Amino acid sequence: MTSRMRILNIIDRKPVDRIPSDIWYTPEVLDLLMKHFSVKDQNEVYGILGIDKIAWIEAVWTGDLKDKKNMWGSALKEVSFGKGSYTEVVTYPLKGSQDEKILARYKWPDLSDFSFDTLCSDCNKNKQWARMLSFISIFEHYCKLKPLDESLMDLYLAPSFAHRLIEIILDFEISYIEKAFEICGDLIDIVYLSDDMGMQDRPILPLDKWKEFFLEPYSRLIKLIKGYGKKVFYHSDGSAFDILEQMVTLGADVINPIQYRCPGMEREKLKKELGSRVVFHGAVENQKIIPFGSPEEVREEVRDNLKILGRGGGYICAPCHNIQPGTPIENIKALYETVAKEGHLYL
């Protein structure tokens, strides 16, 4: 069975030969893996480790980055965390504003600033993998335009402004998805939706506020994607069970990353309450076990996830966040060797 078939079959609840796997990592970890295995291509790494990769694809933004701004006009900076770095937003173009007139004058992203030929080229380069269109978001993009604290306060203090800004972001995301399918069609298998709605111990928003602002936009996005006959992958970190349940009810096919140590996100609860309706992606604990555990502890962690989330199907085994620099190579190998060798035992 090919990797692409294994991923798509598990999402469709069709037979597979074993539970599939995926990998998320930082660029530093990929460099380390290629050096360790003496290869020059990430696909070779996936082959060596037996990973059924979901390939991320996107239309490349062709805007001018000389001023170090993204397509939303947010200034960016590489922020080091010691062994690596992340690109972070450091200035927010709509900071301090709740005036809808500014939204009417603002220079929003335009589809002409994206290379959809690159999107199709990436699809063809990754034919051996399931291919996922990214990065579709609403509130995360909102938080590129305004700081998180202001973005949250808008929902309470300036609801008309917030609804209008959300509408503008949604309209762009819809046009991006439509253009991607117009150009690339069946080369795309899955669409990635992402809005982090959970903190480590509780949701960022109460459910009624989420419904007020995000239920209808996500209903429109999912209906659009399903209209093309494609799968919906939804990402939210942290403790956000009620919102995840809403997304599953709307039609999400896969939820990620399953931080099961957060309250309300226990694996047994998720499997019992959502397991018949959605596929779980992630769950291998990446705050303590993958970076700091022993290889045997990693293997036991993988087995627990295979047993709890994978029993009867409906699970793609992966870390619950990017594997970080400093993670022992032997722990990464233990993760994927266990899935490859034992993934058939838990179906």
Residue 108 gets which letter from DSSP?
-
The predicted structure's pLDDT at residue 64: 67
Residue 253 sits at φ, ψ, to 5 deg, of -95, -30
Q: Where in the chain does DSSP place strands (E)? A: 54-57, 60-61, 75-80, 85-91, 114-115, 130-136, 190-194, 231-235, 254-256, 279-284, 315-319
Average pLDDT of the chain?
96
The predicted structure's pLDDT at residue 137: 98
The predicted structure's pLDDT at residue 297: 98
pLDDT tens, 85-98?
A: 888 999 999 999 99
Which residues neighbour 272 within 8 Å (Cβ) at sequence distance 6 or greater? none
DSSP states along 13-51: T---SS--B---B-HHHHHHHHHHHT-S-HHHHHHHHT-
The predicted structure's pLDDT at residue 63: 79
The predicted structure's pLDDT at residue 230: 98
pLDDT tens, 41-69?
A: 999 999 999 999 999 999 989 876 666 78
Q: What are the structural domains of the chain?
A: 3-64+93-346 (3.20.20.210)
pLDDT tens, 223-254?
A: 999 999 999 999 999 999 999 999 999 999 99
Q: Tokens for 95? A: 């900071």
% of the chain beyond a pLDDT of 70: 99
- Give just the sign of the alpha carbon dihedral 179, 181, 187, 189: positive
pTM of the prediction? 0.96
Which is more confidently placed, 168 or 82?
168
**Distance of alpha carbon 253 from alpha carbon 176, whole angstroms:** 21
pLDDT tens, 158-214?
A: 999 999 999 999 999 999 999 999 999 999 999 999 999 999 999 999 999 999 999
